[in-house]
Amino acid sequence: MEIWINPACSKCRSAVGLLDAEGAEYTVRRYLEDVPSEDEIREVLERLGLEPWDITRTQEAAAKELGLKEWARDESSRDRWITALAEHPKLIQRPIITADDGSAVVARSEDAVRDALARK
């Protein structure tokens, strides 16, 4: 199991705390420092069953500068969104846990973290 975090994020700290409390084995990826490639983002999206716009933090300054709210949300625009996430990792929703069963969850709630823990 791997968790993508920003240590400054309270939701990330809560998720890590819950993983620790449950004795989970996991690795931490500080995705602002160890930026995921476009291929890694595609893989995580597939595991999540989501589209790139579903995991984009549209209130971030970079999102506003790029005008993301105006971007099309369709298959022809998918690569453009993925490129933006790779070039501006702060736009990626967090934390994301990739579970051992090949799935992933956006772990912004205790229930979502527990869901990831239950996936074997």
Instruction: Please report how the helices 10-21 and 110-118 are oriented relative to each other, as an axis angle in degrees rounded to 10.
Output: 40
Secondary structure letter of residue 60 according to DSSP = S
Cβ-proximal residues to 65 (8 Å cutoff; 6+ apart), any chain: none
Q: Is 12 a catalytic residue?
A: no
Query: How far does Cα 30 stand from its chain's mean position?
Result: 11
Catalytic residue among 1, 5, 8, 9: 9
Phi and psi based region of residue 102 (left: phi greater than 0; alpha: psi -120 to 50; beta: remaining): left
Q: Which residues are catalytic?
A: 9
